[in-house]
């Protein structure tokens, strides 16, 4: 049994709506990820001697997973430093450790803010 003209027309309408929705969702995701990366560039943790290099490394990275587009905010210049700065770490002087640096949860603060912003924009714009 074949698909009738009404079913075919409905299928086309739903496909068009789905494509438009996916496109708009990708735009919102990209915008929020870029905003988050820009905020992380503006608020680097203090006390880092390579802070300019660390600060300038924040990017919104586009990834395609299972046919869907995702954006991840990551530091491309110093990816391993993000964990050390956010959580603190042992400081060594070559003769053993002599303390810990203070944790600076700058990434978690931006993440919470922009997850909320992403959800708000989905509710209002889509």
Distance, CA of 74 to CA of 42 (rounded, Å): 15
Residue 73, CA distances (Å) to 25, 92, 99, 109, 119 in order = 17, 30, 30, 13, 16
* φ/ψ (deg, to 5) at 109: -65, -45
**Residue 114 vs residue 101, higher pLDDT:** 114
Contacts of 20 (CB under 8 A, 6+ apart): none
User: What is the per-residue pLDDT for 60?
Assistant: 95
- The CA distance from 115 to 126, in Å, is 16
CA distances in angstroms from 59 to 25, 39, 40, 73, 76, listed in the order given:
19, 11, 9, 6, 7
Judge whether residue 55 has pLDDT over 70.
Answer: yes
pLDDT at 76: 92
Nearest by Cα to 82 from 58, 113, 115, 112: 58
In the chain, what is the straight-line distance between the N-terminal and C-terminal CA atoms, in Å? Answer: 36
pLDDT for position 125: 84
pLDDT single digits (tens) 74-99: 999 988 888 888 888 888 777 766 78
């Amino acid at each position: 049994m074949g698909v009738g003209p009404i079913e075919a027309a409905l299928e086309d309408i739903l496909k068009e709506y789905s494509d438009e929705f996916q496109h708009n969702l990708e735009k919102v995701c990209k915008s929020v990820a870029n905003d988050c990366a820009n905020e992380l560039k503006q608020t680097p943790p203090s006390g880092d001697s390579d802070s300019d290099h660390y600060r300038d490394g924040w990017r919104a990275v586009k990834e395609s997973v299972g046919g869907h587009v995702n954006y991840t905010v990551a530091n491309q210049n110093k990816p391993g430093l993000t964990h050390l700065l956010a959580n603190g770490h042992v400081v060594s002087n070559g003769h053993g450790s002599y303390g810990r640096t203070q944790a600076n949860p700058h990434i978690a603060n931006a993440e919470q803010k922009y997850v909320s912003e992403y959800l708000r924009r989905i509710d209002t714009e889509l």
